């Protein structure tokens, strides 16, 4: 059955529906990305010939996926894409980070669907009716469209990361655990955009205790909320790949304590 026919057979007549999928859940580096693609009867009537060509993004070559993603952005009644970065993935775990990205994508929609088809066996609890569809990117047109949008968006992000962190091959392996990726980490060390909670990445880290101590000192020197918030991008993110996860968790607790202290102080002024 064509995925569009499956959708039409599983939604009430006259209502908008959405599909939600993610990209990058298994990668060692970069964000996890979620997308929500919304369809309705008008879009199907006008653009059915395009929608019937939607497939699981993994079945499309990169060039075709990029072209189809651009077409979908032009014809869908609504869509939204959300990212959750490696720091949040390590803080929350990848499953929860994926659910966060899915919820954010749905929250960002300009058109609220009546029902969502979610790829996988766990729903993100968006507040809308959700139907879980295992291997949904191959079953549902809306999920397949979301898969294409998420994958194309993430691929572009990883190509940009290759320019920011040259030598890692992000544009080739897209952050996944290939032999090339492992070899580049062994040669260059773990980058600030790697997921240090992932065992293969942690095993390749070259940690720096002096850097850890310097981060504690720079955090303690923050004298306002603005300085504290700037510390994350200025100090923590560039050092991230050279820190043990347990060190990061300690820094997070210290950051949270100082954040609460400054917030309380400014609230009393």
pLDDT digit string, tens, across residues 22-48: 999 999 999 999 999 999 999 999 999
pLDDT of residue 67 exceeding 50: yes
What is the pLDDT at residue 267? 52
In a domain, 184, yes or no: no
| DSSP string for residues in 88-127 | HHHHH-HHHHHHHHHHHHHHT-SS--SEEEEESS-----S
Helices (H), 59-208: 62-75, 86-92, 94-107, 136-139, 141-164, 170-173, 179-188, 199-202
Residue 140 sits in a domain whose CATH number is 3.30.420.10
pLDDT digit string, tens, across residues 219-261: 999 988 899 999 999 999 999 999 999 999 999 999 999 998 8
What is the pLDDT at residue 268? 46
In a domain, 178, yes or no: no
Query: Which of 162, 179, 198 corresponds to the end of one domain?
Result: 162
What lies within 8 Å, CB to CB, of 214 at 6+ separation is: none
Residues 96 and 9 in one domain: yes
pLDDT of residue 57 exceeding 60: yes
Q: Give the residue numbers spanning the domain of 246.
A: 209-268
- Average the pLDDT over 186-190 and give the result: 98
Residues 26 and 103 in one domain: yes
Residues 158 and 213 in one domain: no
Residues 87 and 145 in one domain: yes
pLDDT digit string, tens, across residues 134-167: 999 999 999 999 999 999 999 999 999 999 999 9
Residues 153 and 228 in one domain: no
Q: What is the mean pLDDT of the chain?
A: 95
Q: In whole angstroms, how large is the CA radius of gyration of the chain?
A: 21
Residue 211 CB burial class (10 angstroms; 0-12, 13-18, ≥19) = middle
pLDDT-based confidence at residue 198 (cuts at 50, 70, 90)? very high
Domain count, the chain: 2
């Amino acid at each position: 059955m064509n995925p569009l026919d499956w959708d039409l057979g599983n939604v009430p007549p006259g209502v908008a529906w959405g599909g939600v999928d993610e990209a990058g859940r298994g990668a060692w580096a970069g964000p996890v990305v979620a997308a929500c693609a919304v369809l309705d009867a008008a879009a199907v009537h006008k653009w059915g010939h395009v929608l019937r060509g939607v497939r699981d993004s993994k079945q499309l070559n990169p060039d075709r996926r990029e072209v189809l993603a651009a077409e979908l952005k032009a014809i869908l009644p609504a869509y939204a894409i959300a990212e959750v970065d490696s720091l949040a993935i390590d803080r929350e775990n990848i499953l929860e980070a994926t659910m966060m990205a899915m919820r954010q994508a749905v929250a960002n929609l300009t058109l609220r669907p009546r029902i969502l088809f979610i790829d996988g066996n766990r729903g993100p609890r968006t507040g809308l009716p959700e139907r879980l569809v295992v291997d949904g990117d191959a079953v549902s047109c809306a999920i397949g469209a979301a898969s294409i949008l998420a994958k194309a968006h993430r691929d572009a992000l990883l190509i940009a990361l290759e320019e920011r962190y040259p030598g890692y091959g992000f544009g080739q392996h897209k952050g996944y655990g290939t032999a090339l990726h492992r070899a580049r980490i062994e040669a260059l060390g773990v980058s600030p955009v790697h997921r240090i909670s992932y065992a293969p990445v942690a095993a390749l880290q070259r940690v720096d205790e002096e850097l850890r101590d310097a981060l504690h000192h720079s955090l303690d020197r923050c004298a306002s909320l603005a300085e504290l918030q700037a510390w994350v991008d200025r100090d923590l993110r560039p050092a991230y790949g050279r820190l043990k996860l347990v060190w990061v968790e300690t820094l997070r607790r210290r950051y949270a304590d100082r954040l609460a202290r400054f917030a309380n102080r400014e609230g009393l002024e």
